[in-house]
């Protein structure tokens, strides 16, 4: 009971400081919650306004206390775990301190004596994060499926998501190669490169904020990364608080193509749990192709799919409500498909779509 309240207060508090220090010291501290950060975004195409809500503190502080009482009915096994309970009461303006030690996916420690200047980031989420914290100039290579932000056009593409031109990588002489999956790790390490793989965030949505912080530590932009992470966490908490009085929402089926669907132990499954949507594929491990008769039997109230036409065309499904009403929701793939700074936009898009009027 005590922890969420403390958590919320601390988040609000930290956000206030965070917003104020957004200008990285150039302007004096003026914690005026009503005024959005006036700092121009370091890169024109990447607008922080898109990521940062205009008045997040106002919404957070006006949340009525009465809802907290109701939250006692909250299911005991809280589905969304707080893997990263920040200690924000002691938050001060951070200074980057090199050497920095990062724990990689395999548990090994990777030490950075200074911020890497030539990064090959083989992952769309990493590229977006690095740009969002204003360090995009460090990226010298990525893969051809990365298309955001616009500056990526000028960055060299070293293969597609599943293949890479290792000779070209060696030629570019990067001081850090970030990978999303370990296929080429050993080969690159043998060639004497510094390779980084971070912990998978698939099982826990909240770990995404830690990834932002890690990138801040690596590149030295700790403050911007902290703001990004705090903002992410605050907006998640906001969704949780608004949904707190409600026990369960509608049931959902997500078709990611040919009836493949995410189970509960995936990032999308996590999103559904946060939004209190009942995933009809709750007994699917990771991703699986759900049997059509199971879909009909479990009768989802919401369907989301990026290829709705295939579902509309199949006569077997035409008695399902979302198909009868032609209301299959087509989410913005760029948001929920990439676990970067825009992920929260995708989350809020779903929240607005399925709880109309509840969120602003």
Chain residues binding another protein by CB under 8 A are 160, 256-259, 281, 283-284, 288-294, 296-297, 299, 306-307, 310, 314-316, 319
Alpha helices in 21-72 (DSSP H): 48-51, 56-61, 66-70
Task: Report, in Å, the least distance between residue 37 CB and another protein.
Answer: 35
Nearer to another protein, 145 or 246 (CB): 145
- Relative to beta strand 260-262, strand 176-178 is unpaired
Nearer to another protein, 40 or 292 (CB): 292
Task: Report, in Å, the least distance between residue 181 CB and another protein.
Answer: 18
List of long-range contacts for 192-201, beta carbons under 8 Å, 24+ apart: 193/169, 194/110, 194/116, 196/102, 196/104, 196/110, 197/104, 197/105, 197/106, 198/102, 198/104, 198/105, 199/103, 199/104, 199/105, 200/105, 201/267, 201/339
How far is residue 351's CA from residue 273's CA, in Å, rounded to a whole number? 12
Nearer to another protein, 108 or 163 (CB): 163
H/E segment holding residue 100: strand 100-103
How far is residue 210's CA from residue 229's CA, in Å, rounded to a whole number? 7
Nearer to another protein, 69 or 319 (CB): 319
Nearer to another protein, 150 or 316 (CB): 316
Task: Report, in Å, the least distance between residue 276 CB and another protein.
Answer: 22
Nearer to another protein, 105 or 282 (CB): 282
Task: Report, in Å, the least distance between residue 317 CB and another protein.
Answer: 8
How far is residue 282's CA from residue 300's CA, in Å, rounded to a whole number? 12
Q: Cis link prior to 7 (omega < 30° from 0)?
A: no
Question: How many other C-beta atoms lie within 10 A of the C-beta of residue 171?
Answer: 10
Task: Report, in Å, the least distance between residue 99 CB and another protein.
Answer: 41
How far is residue 356's CA from residue 274's CA, in Å, rounded to a whole number? 16
Task: Report, in Å, the least distance between residue 257 CB and another protein.
Answer: 3
Nearer to another protein, 259 or 274 (CB): 259
Task: Report, in Å, the least distance between residue 256 CB and another protein.
Answer: 8
Q: Cis link prior to 99 (omega < 30° from 0)?
A: yes
């Amino acid at each position: 009971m005590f922890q969420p309240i403390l958590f919320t207060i601390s988040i609000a508090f930290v956000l206030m400081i965070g917003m104020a220090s957004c200008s990285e010291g150039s302007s004096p501290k003026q914690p005026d919650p009503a005024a959005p950060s006036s700092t121009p975004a370091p890169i024109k195409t990447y607008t922080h306004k898109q990521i940062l809500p205009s008045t997040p503190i106002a919404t957070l502080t006006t949340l009525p206390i009465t809802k907290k009482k109701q939250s006692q009915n909250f299911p005991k096994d809280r589905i969304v775990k707080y893997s990263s309970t920040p200690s924000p009461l002691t938050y001060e303006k951070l200074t980057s301190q090199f050497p920095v030690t990062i724990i990689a996916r395999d548990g090994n420690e990777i030490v950075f004596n200074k911020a890497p200047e030539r990064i090959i980031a083989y992952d769309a989420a990493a590229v977006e994060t690095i740009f969002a914290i204003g360090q995009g100039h460090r990226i010298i290579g990525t893969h051809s499926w990365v298309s955001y932000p616009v500056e990526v056009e000028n960055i060299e593409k070293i293969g597609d998501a599943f293949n890479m031109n290792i000779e070209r990588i060696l030629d570019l002489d990067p001081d850090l190669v970030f990978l999303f999956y370990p296929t080429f790790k050993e080969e690159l390490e043998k060639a004497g490169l510094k390779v980084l793989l971070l912990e998978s965030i698939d099982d826990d949505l909240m770990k995404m904020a830690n990834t932002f912080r890690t990138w801040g530590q690596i590149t030295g932009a700790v403050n911007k990364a902290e703001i990004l992470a705090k903002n992410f966490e605050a907006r998640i908490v906001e969704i949780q608080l608004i949904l707190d009085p409600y026990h369960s929402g509608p049931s959902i089926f997500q078709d990611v193509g040919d009836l493949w669907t995410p189970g509960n132990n995936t990032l999308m499954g996590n999103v559904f749990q946060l939004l209190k949507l009942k995933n009809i594929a709750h007994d699917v491990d990771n991703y699986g192709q759900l049997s059509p008769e199971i879909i009909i039997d479990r009768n989802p109230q919401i369907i989301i799919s990026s290829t709705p036409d295939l579902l509309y065309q199949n006569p077997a499904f035409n008695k399902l409500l979302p198909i009868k009403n032609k209301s299959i929701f087509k989410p913005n793939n760029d948001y929920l498909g990439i676990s970067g700074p825009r992920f929260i936009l995708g989350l809020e898009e779903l929240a607005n779509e399925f709880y109309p009027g509840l969120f602003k």
